[in-house]
Amino acid sequence: PMLVAAQDFKFNLGQRGPEIYEDYYGIFFEELSHSGEGGLYAELIQNRSFEDNTSSPDHWTAVGSATLTLTTDNMMNANQGHALGLTATAAGDGIRNDGFWGICYASGETYKASFWIRSDSEWNGTVTAKLLDSSANAIGQADIAVEAGTAWKQYTATITATATAVGGYFDLCLGSATTVELDMVSLFPPTFKNREHGMRPDLANMLWQLHPKFMRFPGGCFVEGQES
């Protein structure tokens, strides 16, 4: 091993160093390990627009005897590359999302669910949105009357959780056999200052209490794009 000579350091605690102005104290956001999506951003659904994997709908599984396929036809807009094709063979078939390491629900808290839907067969029926605990027991649900035509249409619902759960799931189930396409499936808890598509109140409130003079965003390499 290489030996390094000892060094003596002397500090004068009575001498003030350069003054750092209050305007220089701020916060720095870096998108690593889901610090944004799945962290500060309050969205509870992972891969809500089915873009995370071009060959399979990651974090989505079939409910009942449903068949799931990714489609690239008839997108909502030019920004969407994929949607989910859902074929239900019986009432109750649907899709399930496991969130970010499971979805946490708080008893008595109200959640806002939304999704976009279309169908070449112009299906009219009921879509049931469900909050599920870690054992897939329903702890809240809403039945949504849907008219699915060839044009994309958004539906929303509010659901109040009847129990607290950790590691839960979210389901969308169809009321009869049919084939539809889904996109932008979303579930939000209450947000910081009740802002639409806002941030998690616990994390955002801690950042707000720091009273930063500035916020650097974005940071890191995740938002700079992918290598060609």
User: Residue 184 — very low, low, confident or very high, per pLDDT cuts 50/70/90?
Assistant: very high
∠ at Cα 33 (203, 29), nearest 5°?
Answer: 50
Query: Among positive and negative, which fits the CA dihedral 172, 177, 179, 180?
Result: negative
pLDDT, position 2: 64
pLDDT, position 54: 93
Residue 64, SS3 per DSSP:
coil
pTM of the model: 0.86
pLDDT at residue 32 greater than cutoff 80:
no
CA atoms within 13 A on the CB side of 108: 0
DSSP assignment letter at 78: T
